[in-house]
Structure 1
Amino acid sequence: MDHPVARPEELRLLEALLFASAEPIDQATLAKRMPDGVDIKQALAQLQAEYAPRGVNLVRVANKWTFRTAGDLSWLMTRESTETRKLSRAAIEVLAIIAYHQPVTRAEIEEIRGVVTSKGTIDVLLETGWIRPRGRRKTPGRPLTFGTTDGFLSQFSLEALGDLPGLEELKGTGLLDSRLPTGFSVPSPSDDATLREDEEPLEPGDTLELLLAPAVEPEAEEPKPEAEAAAEVETAEVDVTVEAEIEAEAEAAAEADAAEPDAGEPDERADHAGDEDDAEDRGE
């Protein structure tokens, strides 16, 4: 009966060191922990060969050794997760306008909201897959028209776009003020894919990639109100005036110091006057 060949002890030591270490270990450090006479290169090569067919492999990274999951099993370590992100208030408003008023252009969205719509807001909605470019409006500049997608219906559990709440439902849920202006109405939304008479079909260059590139544009800094700007200018003038006054006072003080004789030095004119008085007393 054949007895299994005893496994070298240095292999067990290497295994223990490498498994216990949180970071890869260089060969010199491993060699210091081995018994005398152990060929560290040969031991590492043998251990690497042993682990080659296993779920973890001994690999060399930046001239250091460590155990890593086998490359063909990396898919087991992949974890998929859904990231939940809140839409901004601006994005919700734009989405609602597109849903109820489609097909609608960016300029028309801005007219309804009363504020400029950032390109980043449109980009976010395009990335969610809830809106899409439908065509181009037959007006100067041929702006893109936007509409909702099937993904929008699926996200909000709608069988059709007509299932969106109407005026009375919105008032009942408190989303609209009960005291609305005369003639106020909520449009009946329609997501008919057929282009309207005032729309033209998209051209080959009108791709989603072009719409999303470049990434979100940095919004320009809002101009400061005139009152704030005037206050800053007035403050600057005051600071300059104060500095000028300080400089003038410093110059005046310097001139005064130069005009006054130094207290530590004798006044020559006083000395000469004293000499004359002494001569008169002596009758000279």
Structure 2
Amino acid sequence: MTAISFAGVGQKYITVAGETLALRGIEFLVEEGELIGLVGPSGCGKSTILSLIAGLLLPTQGEVRVFAELVHSPSPDVGYMLQQDYLLPWRTIHDNILLGLEIQGKKTKANMEQALRLLHEMGLAHAADQHPHQLSGGMRQRVALVRTLTANPQVILLDEPFSALDYQIKLQLEELIQSTLKEKRLTGVLVTHDLGEAIAMCDRVFVMSKNPGTIKSVYPIPEEIRDLSPFAAREHPEFHALFRQVWRDLQDAD
């Protein structure tokens, strides 16, 4: 089943300086359970695409659909993870992960129990009564993932969620998120400036060009790489050949 579809999507921004065309002619499909990566130069519209999927923006041209439904506003079916965890410092970890349920009016006993199970699965059950300042950056991002998953979304948007972390923690979280999405058969869109991350985690990588943003190329990731963890994928011989190919394409996209 098609989870996300873009059909002839264009996006304009109007400012005091004039009109800017951010995206032009964006066309793609993402199948249910697929994780795609968006890479490209700064300003090519990667985060704008996420905002359109999330319903935070409406396209000035074309259509965006999630599970065949026209996107016209934010939906609980779409979860969003950012570079910053945005945990509320005055709330405990337990209360932070329940925030989405509170906003949606779905703070039932069953949903709260599910949230605690997720916290346990992420190895954070011991931190439930702690506050965000007591946790490391990697732990806070795991809490942010639990908070996102607790709302039971079908689509997860990832906007450079690992960029503020050190390399070891980044690799651990890449593996955790990739395996979680596969296990729960969630659809994901990853925006990253790290090409290696996109190839190691995703099923397909979209290369974007800018001014205005367009989809320049699409690279399916070979199954022998997709079947590996992100750490092991980086050691596969085909990974390096594909990295060099996409890297050359990215240089032309800038």
TM-score normalised to structure 2 length? 0.21
Higher helix share: 1
The structure having more radius of gyration, on CA atoms, is 1
Higher strand share: 2
Higher RCO (CA 8 Å, separation ≥ 6 residues): 2
TM-score normalised to structure 1 length? 0.19
